[in-house]
Structure 1
């Protein structure tokens, strides 16, 4: 069974995968697998960009998304006419002939991967470039990825990577066959300084606590007075800062629904 494995940390936002997907499918008829993709409005492979934090503590994450080629796809659950089928290799296909006029299929995918072609009156999505796979070639997005962020092949060959990976919205129970490594998480960051001498504070101990699980993480401020806690889940946190010669500094509640740059934190010297 085929799978995609996408390492988000390797994606540099070149949008090459998105562009070659358009090149492969716009004005090209790959029947019976897919009719031509329209010039505009469809992104069977789409790279989204998310900015985390605020200046100067900023991370930009690029996130390639496509049809998840689920083992138990919602589109297949919805249709019993044969308009949607799963191939023996795991790729999920919308038959362009049998699906003609079935606009309702565009609403059943919780990943938003199915588009409506007004001109052809047919729902369309990523096919995994099944027409190329059948010729022993890679999907265009995989072949074009300069950083090898997108991989495609047999599940068995990627077993080690899959063991480290995640799927999107596993709670849906659709069993996606697109696996992600290093999905962007949230962070808490800041910088410590002494306002009396206007100097940063190195080697302070900073402890972040998840108020729900009571899990603690500890780090030190670096040579620039900076500290980071990365790959956090959303939730409520507290922060405690301790530095030799300074009063402790505490933030009792941080509502982490997006990455937080606390900014410059002034530390008060002990008397």
Structure 2
């Protein structure tokens, strides 16, 4: 059995319910697995947000709830002395609140910055996946009972953007969610196996607007837009909407792409772009054949 959390960024709406539930559970409360979480300065469930797009014509945001990833080969455990960080048989990674005293190297070792330094107690701290609740509820011996506890962040999410369960069970809800979605692990964790699995973190989008001939100043709906990666040959397609706008998501990063716009009775338009970031590539005017 390997316990984990699947996090679907596409379903996160930045309500911070998971963040507040984590604070409610750990601020002011100690367990055998963790000292109390400080009220300020610690983000055991960090909500990482950024604005996407480079034009006022196309702006949106991305949100990635980010706890400790509970790596299968934790960098923090490798940096710890005296067994101060250990991995449980169920895969949950724990920092011992006594043995870790003074070991700031544990904080520095985390590739995603998910370990925090408690200045008052001089210890590193992070998400425990609410292991103290799981242990108290008997989760390990009654896996799947809906009456038993799950991590507080999972329990609090109104959109089911966080799913908890046994990663080793192909019939579990978490395994099904992962199989049905796009795995987009955090970039600093590339090549690492983790028990927190991120899904649907956006890559790059391109967008634009298509008009009929310039003199008409009228948007064109139903034009076909193809974006082809020059390196891989992969092609993504869409059509312009009622407002003449188009958008294609999930493009590979840092690639040269060719954009081709076609509409019956009009000359094709082709130009290139580079997917270094999300771009609104501008307005395209069609011309009669």
Band of TM-score, shorter chain: over 0.9
CA distance in 2, matches of 1:41, 1:79: 22
- TM-score (structure 2 length as normaliser): 0.87
- 1:228: Cα distance to partner? 1.6
* 1:138 equivalent among 147, 150, 172: 150
Matches within 5 A, 1:215-230: 215-230=234-249
CA distance in 2, matches of 1:102, 1:268: 67
Contact 1:168 1:176 in 2 (8 A): no
Q: Tell me, which stretches of 5 or more residues in structure 2 are unaligned?
A: 138-148
Contact 2:6 2:164 in 1 (8 A): yes
Residues 1:183 and 2:184 are matched in the alignment: no
Residues 1:159 and 2:164 are matched in the alignment: no
Contact 1:117 1:123 in 2 (8 A): yes
Contact 2:182 2:199 in 1 (8 A): yes
Structure 2 residue aligned with 1:168? 186
Matches within 5 A, 1:193-232: 193-194=211-212, 195-232=214-251
Deviations 1:142-181 (A, max 9, x none): 1111111111122211222233452334865431111122
Moved more, 124-133 or 255-264: 255-264
CA distance in 1, matches of 2:46, 2:10: 16
Moved over 3 A (4+): 169-174
Higher strand share: 1
Structure 2 residue aligned with 1:128? 129
CA distance in 2, matches of 1:89, 1:142: 18
SS of alignment partner, residue 218 of structure 1: strand
CA distance in 2, matches of 1:233, 1:214: 11
- TM-score (structure 1 length as normaliser): 0.93
